[in-house]
Amino acid sequence: MAEPFYITTAIAYPNGRPHIGHAYEAIAADVIARFQRMMGRDVRFQTGTDEHGLKMAQKARELGTTPAALATEMTQHFIDMDRALNVSYDVFQRTTDPAHHASVQALWQRMEAKGDLYLDRYEGWYSVRDEAYYDESELVAGEGGEKLSPQGTPVEWTVEESWFFRLSKYAQPLLDLYNGQPDFIRPESRRNEVMRFVEGGLRDLSVSRTSFDWGVKVPGSDDHVMYVWVDALTNYLTGLGYPGETPDMAKWWPCDVHLIGKDITRFHAVYWPAFLMSADLPVPRQVFSHGFLLNRGQKESKSLGNVTDPVALADRFGVDVLRYFLMREVTFGQDGSYSPEAIVSRGNTELGNAFGNLAQRTLSFIAKNLGGALPAVHARSAEDEELLAHVGRAVGSELPAAFQALALQQGIDAWLQAVFACNAYIDAQAPWALRKTDPERMETVLATLFVAIGRLAVAILPVIPEKAGALLDMMGVPQANRTYGTVGADWYAALAAGDARLGAPTPLFPRLELPADEDA
* Residue 460 belongs to domain with CATH number: 1.10.730.10
Q: Residue 376's pLDDT is what? A: 93
Looking at this protein, which amino acid is placed at residue 334? Q
Looking at this protein, which amino acid is placed at residue 133? Y
Per-residue pLDDT averaged across 319-324, rounded? Answer: 98
Please list, residue by residue across 491-505, b when 16 or more beta carbons sit within 10 angstroms of its beta carbon and e when fewer do. bbeebbeeeeebeeb
Domain limits for position 394: 339-497
In a domain, 450, yes or no: yes
Looking at this protein, which amino acid is placed at residue 319? V
Query: Where does residue 200 rank: exposed (0-12), middle (13-18), buried (19+ CB within 10 A)?
Result: exposed
In a domain, 87, yes or no: no
CB 504 within 8 A of CB 364: yes
Direct distance between the N- and C-terminal alpha carbons of the chain, in angstroms, rounded to an integer: 53
In a domain, 52, yes or no: no
Taking each helix axis from N to C end, the angle separating 310-317 and 319-329, rounded to the nearest 10 degrees, works out to 110
For residue 22, the Cα-to-chain-centroid distance in whole angstroms is 9
Q: Phi-psi bin for 273: left (phi > 0), alpha (psi -120 to 50), beta?
A: alpha
Half-sphere exposure of 264 (CA within 13 A, CB side): 20
Return d(Cα 484, Cα 462) in angstroms, integer: 11
Looking at this protein, which amino acid is placed at residue 257? V
> Which pLDDT tens digit goes with each residue over 377-434?
999 999 999 999 999 999 999 999 999 999 999 999 999 999 999 999 999 999 999 9
Strands 208-209 and 221-226, sheet pairing: antiparallel
Q: Is the pTM of this model over 0.85?
A: yes
Percent of the chain with pLDDT over 70: 97
> Which pLDDT tens digit goes with each residue over 149-171?
988 889 998 888 999 999 999 99
In a domain, 399, yes or no: yes
For residue 160, the Cα-to-chain-centroid distance in whole angstroms is 38
Per-residue pLDDT averaged across 265-280, rounded? Answer: 98
Residue 501 binned pLDDT confidence (cut-offs 50, 70, 90): confident
Per-residue pLDDT averaged across 61-80, rounded? Answer: 96
In a domain, 375, yes or no: yes
CB 16 within 8 A of CB 56: no
Half-sphere exposure of 453 (CA within 13 A, CB side): 31
Q: Is the peptide bond before 243 cis (omega within 30 degrees of 0)?
A: yes
Q: Residue 305's pLDDT is what? A: 61
Q: What is the SS3 assignment for 448?
A: helix
Q: How many domains does the chain have?
A: 1
Residue 304 binned pLDDT confidence (cut-offs 50, 70, 90): low
Under DSSP, the state recorded for 355 is I
Return d(Cα 466, Cα 27) in angstroms, integer: 13
In a domain, 364, yes or no: yes
| Window from 80-84, 324-328, 498-502 with minimum mean pLDDT | 498-502
In a domain, 385, yes or no: yes
In a domain, 406, yes or no: yes
